[in-house]
Amino acid sequence: MTTREARGPKDLLPLVVFLLTLAYPFFVYFNIDSIKPHWFGAALLIMAVFRLVVAGKKRLSSDWLITAVITVFSCFIIFLGSDVLLKSYPVIMSVCMGFVFLFSLKDERNLIERFARASGKQPPEQARGYLQKLCMAWGVLLLLNGAVAAWTAWFASLAVWTLYNGLISYLLVAGFVVIELVYRNYYKKKHNIVDE
C-alpha cells in the first residue's frame, strides 16, 4: 500500500484546525453580539487541546508551549468575559510563534531547519547562515504582526480588527513567503547551493 493510499480522514485534521483559526475573526465579527465571550473562550480551549491531539507523535516542545499559553488565555476569557481579550487571540498566537522562532535560534537546529528535516529534506550545511537569518526574519515579522493586531484589538473598530486579522495579516505573511521563495532561489544560485 502506498503512502498516498494509506492517508485517511485524520490527515485532514491539521487543515481543519488551520481553517478554523483562519475563520476565527469572522466568527467573532458575526457573533460577538449574540454569543458571550465565555463561550468563545471555551471553544478556544477545546481547539487548543484538539490541535495538540492532531499533532500526535510529531508534537514539538513548541506545541506544548502554545497549548499551555492558549489554555491560560482561554481561561482568562472564560472567567473575565472580556471582548478585548476575545479579540486578542490573534495577538497571542502571533507573538507566541514569533518568540518560538526567535528562541529556537539558540538551539543546535532552529525551527526552520527542524521543519525542513521533519518534511524529509536535509538542508545543506552552507545554507545554515541563511536559515538562521530567515528564522530571525520570521520571528520579527510575527512580533510586528502581533503589535499591529494588538492595536486593532484595543483601539480599532470591530470591522477594522476583522479586516486586519482575518485578511490583511494573512496576505502580508503570504507576500513574505513569495518574496522569500524568489530570494531563496537567487541565493542558492549565487552561492551554488544544491539541495541534498
Contact in structure between 52 and 59 (CB atoms under 8 Å): yes
Q: Find all residues with CB under 8 Å of 145, minimum gap 6, and list them.
A: 94, 98, 169, 172, 173
Q: Which set of grid coordinates corresponds to residue 153?
A: 484589538
Residue 110 is which amino acid? N
Q: What is the DSSP string of 2-47?
A: -HHHH--GGGGHHHHHHHHHHHHHHHHHHHTTTS-HHHHHHHHHHH
Domain boundaries, the chain: 3-190
Which residue, among 91, 100, 99, has the nearest Cα to 165 in the 3D structure?
91
Distance CA 39, CA 37 (A): 5
Question: If 0-12 CB within 10 Å is exposed, 13-18 middle and 19+ buried, where does residue 112 land?
Answer: buried
What is the full per-residue pLDDT of the chain (196 aa) written as tens digits? 444 445 555 556 556 666 777 788 888 888 888 888 888 888 888 877 777 776 666 666 666 777 888 889 889 999 998 889 999 999 998 998 999 899 989 888 888 888 777 777 777 777 788 889 999 999 999 999 999 999 999 999 999 999 999 999 999 999 999 999 999 888 888 777 666 5
Burial class (CB in 10 A: 0-12, 13-18, 19+), 56: exposed
Taking the C-alpha atoms of residue 32 and residue 48, their distance in angstroms, rounded to an integer, is 20
Q: How far, in Å, are 139, 154, 160, 171 from residue 163 at the CA level?
A: 23, 15, 5, 11
Q: What share of the chain is helix, strand, coil (3-state, %, to 5)?
A: 85, 0, 15
